[in-house]
Every structure is written in C-alpha cells, then in structure tokens.
C-alpha cells in the first residue's frame, strides 16, 4: 500500500477546485445525510507531522457543528484502559445523520507499537474489522484516509515545528521515533494497512507532500465516497448479506428440557447460604484480581430472572456490581447501532455487570415484533459472537443464563401477579401479548442457542419451573466458572 507508493505518480483529480468550494459541497452533503439519517465516519490517520490537523481543519470548516464532531484518539484514559479495546470507539461513533471525524482511531494502538506480536496484531485487526463491518452493515459510511509523506519531508517538517514557538509542543517522542526509524515504520504501516483494507472500508492513501493538495484530495474523495455511500444505503441491495441459514426445528432444544427438576426445602436453605457465601468470596476475588465479569439473563416473561439475580447477588458488595435492566431503547439509543447502548454499560475490570435481558433482544423480541428486518437479525448472531469474543479476549468472564418455564407455569405466575396488589406492577398487557407468541419465541430461543453457544461464551440453560432449583443452578454455575477463571489467573 505505502511501501510501493509512488509519490511522483500521485495524481490529484481535485487539484483544480478551491478548498472552500469543496468544503461547501461537503456541507451540502452533510445536510443530505442528515435528512437521510445516515451516519458518516471519516478516519484521518497517517505519519506524525503529516498534516492530519491541517486536513481535518479543511474537512470541518464549512460543516454545521450541530451534526459534526472531531474526535481525538491518542493514548487511552484510565477509564478506557479498564475496558476492552473497542469500548472507547463505540462510545463515540456518530449517531445517525451525523458526521464524525476521527483524528487517528482504532489503529493508533497497533500502528504505534513496532514490537507488537503477530498474534496480538491479528486479534486486534480482527476486532477492528468486526466493528467496521458492523457499522457498515448498519448503513454507516466509513472513510479511511492515511496521510503518507517522504522521509525527507518528514524530517523538514519536524525541524520547522521544533523552531515554531507556538507549535513545538506538537513534536513528541513518537515523531522522532518515526523519523529515526522511517524504514521500519514504513514496513509496519504498510503491513497494517494491507491487513485492514477491507472491501467495506478500504484505506485511501493520500500524499501529503503538499498540505493544500492533500486537503483537496481528502475533501474531494470524501464527497465522492459519501455520494457513493448514499447510493448504497438507498439502493439497499448492494450490502453483503449473510443469508438465512435454513429453518430451525421449533422447540428442538427448549422442548427437551426436563422442567420437573426440583429441590427440597431443607437442601435449598443449606445450599443457598453456602453458595451465596462462595459467590461473595468470588466477587471479592474478581475485585482484587481485576477480573471483569458480564452475566446475561434471558428467558420468558415471569421465568424468574429478577428473583435469580437477587439471590445471586444477595451477599455481594453492591459497589462491585451493577444490575442493568434492558427495556426498549430510548431516543438517543435508537439513533445508534443496536450494540452501542450495551457497550456503554460494559463494566471496567474488577466489576460485575448483570444484564437483565440484553443484546439478545435483537434476535428475540426485535425479530418477533419486526423491529429488526430479517437481514438485520440474521446478521446479529455473528455480530454478537464477535462482540463476546472481544470481551472474552479482554479477560471478561461471560456467563449467559437462559431460564425456561413452560406455558402452564407462566399462566400460573401471571395470574399470581395480577392477584397480588404488590406484584401488580410487574405485569402488563405486553406480557399477555408476548404470551400469544409463545411458539415464535421458542423458535427464536432455539436458533439463538444454536448460533451463539460458543466456547468463549456458552449458554447455560436453567430449568425454571421450580424457582428454587433455578436459583441454585445459577449460583452453582457462577461459583464454578468464577473459580475456574480465578484459577486460570494463578496458573
């Protein structure tokens, strides 16, 4: 990509235009993507002292600040370091109709580290590719620029900046390292650019030998690519669709669960106390060993998720955990990719986050109610797997509980709720409507289990007709998996 880049052959088709002209054209397109509700992400990366600030200034100049924003990515803050690599990017992706310009991006970490191991590099690029693919599939327009310059030019620019009383602070050790080891970085960057030039988000190399020309090129190309992207979003068909993989036999898994499992009162009380004490100890260990933990609860309405969560957390320090109940997304959340609101809530190291319902809503309620198109929820299985893999790679313990009850048991619980004044708030018309779609939910649960039951984030099916049995099973699994991950840390 840049190793064989010929500066002398760099041809700038936008050279004849004025920057203001191009900027105004971009501003018009901004109003268009706003009307169409399409998000745009422009990444400006490149060598140190290669004019990123200059180009960004020209990109942003004519834009309406109400729907555009420059985002800086350099060294992560301590809040960011405590969470998986992609968290900081998800947090700041543009909402629908907005343009975000990233000064550097996902690539900062890997580009900046000459000594990164192949394995780590590959994993990071895989993670980056997953976020870019997911955003692309969600109709985001992604544009990636890399500003390239000659070794000699770089040296001269650093010299000039060092002598500039206002701007000498721009020159950091990074600049000097890149200059002193230009050849090594050239190979390193080239390798990364090749690895991460995906069909849905290719890199565009820009010669920044002349700042003004680079700026025009970035402006002109951004305009062309946004126009192209609008076509794609309006056309729809050109998306890479992962196809529906055949019918799943209804109730195959869920239908074969032994819901008669129970536990006698005496055993329950003894076991519960013992397990809760163990769970408490494990939560403290997560704290001292800096282990993040995410627990997902899914299941039919009235399956007993809330009760199971209460028993699980009974003795845990509330300052080390957070229960995050998920219902319909609000206005802000609807303006982002569906995974965005979950990323926001992912716990830092040391903490436990318990999701009472989760991102699986995409392939459950959103599928059944038609809030997500078939294409969207079909794609979601893979997207979710990628996200969970990313969390796993960060060292997160992922536990996913599916609590199951049968239709008769649900009826008994609904009626019970309706008859008790203090529980009445727990039951709504929506619950009754969902009940009518019982069979559809069974199909959706089954497909979810088949497609997202990975070794890094396995599903644990909990037989829920007997509440006490279910609570113990949840606790047992937490303790068992908790011990396992703590022991891994020690070995």
Nearer to a second copy, 6 or 319 (CB): 319
Element (H, E) at 63: none
Query: What b/e string do you get for 150-164 counting C-beta neighbours within 10 Å, with b at 16 or more?
Result: eeebbeebbeebeee
Binding mask 363-402 for a second copy (x = CB under 8 A): ----------------------------------------
- Least distance in Å: CB of 327 to a second copy? 7
Token pair belonging to 281: 């100890």
* Region from 51-59, 432-440, 450-458, 476-484 binding a second copy, contact rule CB under 8 A: 51-59
327: CB partners within 8 A, 6+ apart: 357
In angstroms, give the least distance from the CB of 145 to a second copy: 15
**DSSP 8-state class, residue 71:** E
Q: Which residues pair with 12 in a beta bridge?
A: none
Length, in residues, of the chain: 491
Nearer to a second copy, 288 or 455 (CB): 288
For a second copy, the binding residue among 327, 419, 455, 487 (CB under 8 A) is 327
Q: Which residues contact 149 (CB under 8 A, 6 or more apart)?
A: 46, 47, 49, 50, 51, 157, 207, 208, 209
310 scored as a contact of a second copy (CB under 8 A): yes
Nearest to 477 by CA among 399, 403, 413: 399
Residue 245 or 484: the one with the smaller Cβ distance to a second copy is 484
Hey, which residues between 101 and 120 contact a second copy (CB under 8 A)? 103
> What span, in angstroms and rounded, lies between the C-alpha atoms of 202 and 379?
21
Residues 176 and 315: their CA atoms lie apart, in Å, by 54
Shortest reach from residue 330's CB to a second copy, in Å: 6
Q: Which is nearer to a second copy, 160 or 411 (CB)?
A: 160
323 in contact with a second copy (CB under 8 A): yes
Total residues contacting a second copy (rule CB under 8 A)? 44
User: Does position 280 bind a second copy by CB under 8 A?
Assistant: yes
Sheet holding 141-148, edge to edge: 68-72, 99-103, 40-46, 141-148, 203-207
> Is position 166 an interface residue for a second copy (rule: CB under 8 A)?
yes
Q: Would you tell me the crossing angle of helices 118-137 and 182-195 to the nearest 10 degrees?
A: 50
The interface region with a second copy, picked from 131-139, 164-172, 364-372, 447-455 by CB under 8 A, is 164-172
CA dist list (Å): 118 to 47, 195, 247, 311: 21, 12, 39, 44
- Which two tokens mark 172? 């950091």
Residue 190: closest CA among 148, 157, 221:
148
Of residues 432-461, those binding a second copy (CB under 8 A): none
Does 13 engage in binding with a second copy (CB under 8 A)? no
Q: Which stretch binds a second copy (CB under 8 A): 69-77, 118-126, 213-221, 260-268?
A: 69-77
> Which member of 240, 332, 415, 428 binds a second copy (CB under 8 A)?
332
Binds a second copy (CB under 8 A): choice among 10, 17, 61, 125:
61
Give every CB contact of residue 143 below 8 A, 6+ residues apart in sequence: 40, 41, 42, 43, 204, 221, 222, 225, 226
Sites of contact with a second copy (CB under 8 A): 24, 28, 31, 53, 56-57, 60-61, 64-66, 69-70, 72, 77-79, 103, 166-167, 169, 280-281, 284-285, 287-288, 309-310, 314, 317-319, 322-325, 327, 330-332, 356, 422, 425
């Amino acid at each position: 990509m840049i190793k064989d880049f010929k500066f002398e052959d760099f041809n700038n088709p936008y050279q004849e235009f004025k920057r203001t002209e191009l900027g105004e054209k971009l501003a018009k397109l901004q109003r268009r993507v706003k009307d169409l509700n399409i998000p745009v992400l422009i990444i400006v990366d490149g060598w140190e002292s290669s004019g990123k600030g200059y180009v960004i200034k020209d990109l942003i100049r004519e834009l309406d600040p109400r729907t555009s924003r420059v985002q800086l990515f350099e060294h992560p803050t301590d809040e960011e370091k405590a969470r998986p690599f992609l968290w900081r990017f998800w947090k700041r992706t543009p909402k629908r109709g907005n343009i975000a310009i990233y000064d550097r991006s996902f690539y900062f970490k890997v580009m900046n580290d000459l000594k990164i191991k192949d394995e780590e590099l590959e994993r990071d690029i895989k993670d980056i590719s997953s976020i870019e693919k997911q955003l692309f599939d969600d109709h985001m327009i992604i544009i990636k620029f890399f500003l390239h310059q000659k070794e000699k030019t770089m040296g001269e620019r650093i010299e000039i900046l060092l002598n500039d009383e206002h701007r000498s602070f721009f020159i950091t050790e990074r600049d000097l390292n890149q200059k002193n080891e230009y050849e090594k970085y050239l190979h390193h960057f080239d390798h990364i650019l090749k690895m991460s030039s995906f069909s849905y988000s290719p890199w565009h190399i820009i010669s920044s030998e002349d700042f003004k020309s680079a700026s025009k090129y970035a402006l002109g190309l951004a305009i062309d690519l946004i126009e192209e992207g609008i076509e794609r979003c309006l056309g729809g068909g050109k998306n890479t669709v992962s196809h529906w993989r055949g019918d799943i036999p209804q109730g195959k898994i869920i239908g074969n669960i032994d819901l008669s499992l129970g536990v006698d009162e005496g055993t329950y009380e003894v076991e519960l106390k013992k397990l809760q004490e163990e769970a408490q100890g494990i939560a403290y260990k997560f704290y001292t060993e800096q282990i993040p933990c995410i627990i997902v609860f899914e299941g039919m309405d009235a399956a007993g998720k809330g009760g199971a969560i209460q028993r699980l957390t009974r003795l845990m320090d509330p300052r080390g955990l957070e229960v995050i109940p998920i219902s319909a997304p609000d206005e802000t959340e609807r303006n982002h990719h569906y995974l965005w609101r979950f990323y926001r809530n992912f716990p830092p190291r040391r903490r436990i986050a318990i999701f009472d319902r989760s991102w699986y809503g995409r392939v459950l309620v959103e599928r059944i109610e038609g809030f997500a198109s078939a294409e969207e929820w079909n794609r979601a299985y893979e997207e979710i797997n990628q996200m969970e893999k990313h969390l796993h790679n960060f060292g997160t313990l992922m536990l996913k509980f599916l609590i199951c009850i049968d239709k008769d048991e649900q009826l008994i619980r609904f009626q019970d709720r309706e008859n008790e004044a203090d529980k009445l708030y727990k039951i709504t018309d929506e619950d009754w409507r969902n009940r009518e779609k019982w069979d559809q939910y069974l199909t959706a649960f089954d497909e979810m289990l088949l497609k997202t039951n990975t070794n890094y984030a396995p599903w644990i099916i909990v037989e829920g007709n007997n509440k006490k049995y279910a609570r113990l099973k949840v606790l047992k699994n937490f303790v068992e998996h908790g011990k396992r991950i703590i022991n891994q840390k020690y070995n």
